[in-house]
Amino acid sequence: MVLSFIKSERNAAVFIVLAGLLGLVFANQIIGFEESVKPVHHFAELALAVFFFYIGLELKDELTNGVFVNRKALLIPGFAALIGALVPAGLYYLVTYSDPIANKGWAIPMATDITFALAVFTIFGSRMPKGSRQFLLAFAIIDDLLAILVIAIFLRSDVVTALIVTGSAVVGLLIPSRFTHRLQDFLLPVINLIVLPFYAFSSLGIKLDTSITAVVTSVVGIGVLLRVVGKSIGITFGAFIGSKFSRDSLSLKTYARLSVLGGIGFTVAFFVNDIVFKEQDVLHKQALIASLLAALITVLVAAFTLRIKQK
């Protein structure tokens, strides 16, 4: 009973949000907390290796026993994830083109947070057609894999952290398939109850010494907020292209409604932000707050679009 409660995406999302809010409150109420939490946050970054190891296990499981056993099933979520990552990254790059430092954050809006996306779908997606959750899970897994590749290849400002994260995902992919389910069952409660809440707590342990207006009018803030539109356009267009090569597809309207969930960026977005803006405190805070605003906007839009009864 307790394990099933912890493994629920919806409950995991609640734990993460509460932990993040606690970190935010502590940083703004306790003098010196922001500075004291920084070394703790670095440890939390390293602990994310467990999360990425789990992503590797999940992908291996889907390739051997799940939706990707039929390799053609990769086409629609694959194109959706790829173009869904390129469009927001491209929009961010265009907005920040004139600022070479802000421009380094182009990878922040790329990834979808799988835990939060599935949690929002669980709450609001009961009217969605059969196969919707499967598509969401599939493109979110591929999306995370793309983010891992980007971190490993392009974001080498923190080589050790990038290698640990990337390496853990690769190790997960190399685990024999007969062990994946057992490892996933063991790790999921640890990730949902400890790793991700711990990371959210330390990530949001920041002093809010900037206004929302300053964030949404900054090039970094605008670039990150455009992920809400960029992910939706990219995922829908990618799914449309993929559907041309596969008979087993949902309607374009369904893909468009599900694509909204791509606007939720949390764990991976925070992690990329930590790497690229490690030395730029103002830009780091702008990207962090903008990511939170983008997630909030996405949840509100998804609550409406997913509940619409499709004709």
Q: Quick one: tokens of 238? A: 């990618």
Q: Which amino acid, residue 202?
A: S
Q: Using alpha carbons, select from 199, 256, 250, 269 the residue that is nearest to residue 23.
A: 199
Q: Quick one: tokens of 224? A: 């990150």
Q: What is the pTM of this model?
A: 0.87
Q: Rounded to a whole number, what is the distance in angstroms from the first to the last CA of the chain?
A: 38
Ordered domains of the chain (ranges, CATH): 37-176+208-305 (1.20.1530.10)
- Say if CB 181 and CB 30 are below 8 A apart: no
CA distance linking residue 241 with residue 80, whole number of Å: 8
In degrees, rounded to 5, the angle at the alpha carbon of residue 109 between the alpha carbons of residues 131 and 80 is 30
CA distance linking residue 191 with residue 186, whole number of Å: 9
Q: Quote the pLDDT of residue 291.
A: 93
CA distance linking residue 224 with residue 91, whole number of Å: 9
Q: Quick one: tokens of 229? A: 């539109």
Q: Quote the pLDDT of residue 210.
A: 81
Q: Using alpha carbons, select from 296, 291, 254 the residue that is nearest to residue 276.
A: 291
Going from the C-alpha of 145 to that of each of 17, 89, 142, 235, 268, the distances in angstroms are 24, 16, 5, 15, 11
Q: Quote the pLDDT of residue 118.
A: 86
- Say if CB 147 and CB 107 are below 8 A apart: yes
- Say if CB 20 and CB 137 are below 8 A apart: no
Q: Quote the pLDDT of residue 163.
A: 67
Q: Quick one: tokens of 33? A: 């907390």
Q: Quote the pLDDT of residue 221.
A: 95
CA distance linking residue 36 with residue 201, whole number of Å: 13
Complete DSSP assignment for 73-132: GGHHHHHHHHHHHHHHHHHHHHHTTT-TTGGGGTTTTS---HHHHHHHHHHH-TTSPTTH
Residue-wise pLDDT tens digits, 97-136: 999 999 999 999 998 888 888 888 888 888 888 888 888 8
Below-70 pLDDT ranges, the chain: 1-7, 156-163, 165, 309-311
